[in-house]
Amino acid sequence: MRWLHIISRRGHVSTGEIFDVIVVGAGTAGCVLAERLTNSGKLRVLLIEAGGPPTSSFVSIPAGFTKLFKGEQDWNFETEPQAAISGRKIYTPRGKMLGGSSNMNAMMHQWCHPADFDGWVDEGATGWGWSEVASVFREQERWLGEDGDADRGRNGPMLIAPNRHARSLTRLFVDAARRAGLGEEAQYNGHAYQGAWVAELAHKAGRRFSAYHAYLEPAMRRASLEVVSGAHATKIDVDGGRATGVSVRRGAHDQTFAARAVVLAAGAYGSPQLLMLSGIGPAAVLERLGLPVHVDAPEVGENLQDHPVLPVVYRTRSRDTLKSAESPLELLRYLLFKRGMLASGGVEGFAFTQVRPGPVAAPDIELLFLPFEARREFLEPPQQHAFSLGPAVVAPRSRGRLMLRSPDPLIPPAIDPGLLSDPDGIDASVLWEGVRLSRRIAATSPLAEWNTGELRPGASVQSDRELLDYASTELQTVYHPTSTCRMGSDARAVVDPKLRVRGIDGLWIADASVMPSVPRGHPNAVVAMIAGRAAGWIEEAIVA
């Protein structure tokens, strides 16, 4: 396929054309929206993306995603100084390309926990309970594993496969976690999970199979879809209380596209920033920056959540680690057969459990298993044969915010996830218990036989104070930002449960920013579910 900055059947988009829908952002949500909104042929859709096509070879190589970090196809965000960890800033990668972060994540496919969605209903997101969303997860996936779980989808666009390239250490971790008492459940998606598993991946024949492949590539064959890449959205055009189009900057030129409706799919960072740049946000902030105020919406940018994770690293006498992934033999194996270490997703296993009694009988910790040495937020390659366990707080109480630094749309917003900031210290308590659980599993057979000692933080680091000192140098997130444009039934919610932006007609948001709280797990499938449901409501509203 020939790539252009404007990718379309006709090769150009006229600024005088009025589209039925403009979708801003071509990550997972935008790809799903583009496909679903053009499926019936009733709507003309324009998809706008700041990045370009996913042309890097590291996109398709499953274990190559960290090579994309801080490159041209990464937004390369960084948090504000985090008060709980001595003011350290945390690198936060996000995909800047068609397919977005689904082209640079660990490909893990999780529906997340039923309690997440029932909890959303309790927070005012009526119609988003487990009974309403479970069927969407099933419909959007094509499970390529063995039969035996009637809850799995077999006909959807998202190809999901078992990780048949997982390292032997990963299977030892799963066995050890089960022996440590975490549970023996054979399946996790579609269930109230408790246990340990080798991850299911968005994977096809040894290659990544992202939202770009599942949704956008098929949709781009349709005459009803136009895709403009290399276009940074600068504002939503509003006239008389209605969204009428989107302005973009392409190189040194500004351009405006008109539409009957606009859908934001720019994620938990991009969507609230664009709302505020367009005059929809906290009035005092907008006025201070000299921006117009169309809607005083004080919660735009508020409620930011992410999963904090703290790696615990162990030496191993095994040589079956991803330290060897770039060896000539492994490179040849992948190039010829699409097998071996490079066909792995990097984060190969995980476990869920509850380490602290809470109001809901659901996991509060996830243990990620990586068959390699995690170093400096994955920005340095492994230096020795090792494995890493990453306890992550999956139901955090802490909330942060995204703030507009400037009226210049090209200046990144200020990102403050407020990690470990909850006033009762529950998130930190859960994280420390997660570290101790990681140590218990690493000392449990059969993983224990391959564990030759704790590298970081070191066995001498035991107290909560010592663990906090270690977190001040090593804490990061699992790159799951959510909730900055939360949906709800109350007047302060940015969007209503049908994802319509309050106070502006013809404007929707359908991405991770609308989640009332971050779900327990890796939310790519949840984002796709949100966008799929939104597409039906949007088409119904426009066609009617």
Supply the CATH number for residue 442's domain. 3.30.410.40
Same domain, 216 and 283: yes
Verify that 106 and 3 share a domain, yes or no.
yes
Question: What total of structural domains would you count in the chain?
Answer: 2
480 is catalytic: yes
Does the structure show a pLDDT above 60 at 363?
yes
Residue 211 and residue 247 share a domain:
yes
Q: What is the reported pLDDT for 394?
A: 98
Confidence of residue 13 (pLDDT cuts 50, 70, 90): low
Tens digits of residue pLDDT in 434-449:
999 999 999 999 999 9
CA dihedral sign of residues 309, 115, 523, 265: negative
Q: Are residues 514 and 430 in the same domain?
A: no
- Mean pLDDT over 176-200 rounds to 94
201: closest CA among 233, 158, 164, 161? 161
- Check pLDDT > 70 for residue 188: yes
Tell me, what CATH number does 146's domain have? 3.50.50.60
Examine the fold and report which residue of 431, 452, 474 is the final residue of a domain before the chain moves on.
474
User: Terminal CA-to-CA distance of the chain, rounded, Å?
Assistant: 36
Same-domain status, 272 and 331 = no
Dihedral sign computed on CA atoms, order 365, 369, 374, 377: negative
d(CA 286, CA 31): 31
**Do 292 and 313 lie in a common domain?**
no
CA angle 64, 67, 70 (to 5 degrees): 145
CA dist., res. 300 & res. 402, Å (int): 8
Average per-residue pLDDT for the chain: 95
Q: What pLDDT, on a 0 to 100 scale, did the predictor assign at position 14?
A: 61
The whole-number pLDDT of residue 191 equals: 87
Within-domain flag for 410:
no
- Two tokens at 243? 């969204």
pLDDT (tens digit, 9 = 90+) per residue, 211-231?
Answer: 999 999 999 999 999 999 999
Do 328 and 468 lie in one domain? The reply is yes
- Above 80 in pLDDT, residue 312? yes
**pLDDT score for 15:** 62
CA-nearest of 409, 78, 403, 76 to 274 is 409
Tokens matching residue 500: 């319509």
Q: Give 216's DSSP letter.
A: I
Give the domain range for residue 20.
Answer: 1-78+93-160+204-299+482-544
pLDDT, tens digit, for every residue of 482-539?
999 999 999 999 999 999 999 999 999 999 999 999 999 999 999 999 999 999 999 9
How far apart, in Å, are the Cα atoms of 115 and each of 309, 311, 486?
21, 26, 18
- Mean per-residue pLDDT, 15-31: 94
Q: What percent of the chain has pLDDT over 70?
A: 97
Give percent of the chain with pLDDT exceeding 90: 93
- Whole-angstrom Cα distance, residue 187 to residue 199? 10
Q: Is 12 exposed, middle or buried (0-12, 13-18, 19+ CB in 10 A)?
A: exposed
Domain membership flag for residue 41 = yes
Of the candidate ranges 8-17, 454-463, 467-476, the one whose mean pLDDT is the lowest: 8-17
Question: What local confidence, expressed as pLDDT, does residue 148 receive?
Answer: 65
Express each pLDDT in 283-293 by its tens digit: 999 999 999 99
351 three-class SS: strand
Asked if 41 and 225 touch (Cβ cutoff 8 Å), the reply is no
Which distant-in-sequence residues (6+ apart) come within 8 Å of 285 by Cβ? Answer: 276, 403, 404
Q: Bridge partners of 242? A: 239, 505
Say if residue 244 is in the same domain as residue 331. Answer: no
Is 413 inside a domain boundary? Answer: no
Query: What is the β-pairing status of strands 302-304 and 400-403?
Result: antiparallel
In a domain, 331, yes or no: yes
Looking at the structure, do residues 496 and 542 belong to the same domain, yes or no?
yes
CA distance 216 to 27: 10
Residues whose CB is less than 8 angstroms from the CB of residue 356 and which lie 6 or more positions away in sequence, other chains included: 364, 426, 429, 430, 433
222 and 179 fall within a common domain: no
Residue-wise pLDDT tens digits, 234-268: 999 999 999 999 999 999 999 999 999 999 999 99
Q: Which among 109, 165, 203, 480 is annotated as catalytic?
A: 480
Question: Is residue 487 located within the same domain as residue 359?
Answer: no
Q: What pLDDT score was predicted for residue 194?
A: 93
Residue 1 has pLDDT above 80, yes or no: no
What local confidence, expressed as pLDDT, does residue 6 receive? 47
CA distance 301 to 303: 7
Is 286 a domain residue?
Answer: yes
Question: Residue 83 falls within a domain, yes or no?
Answer: no
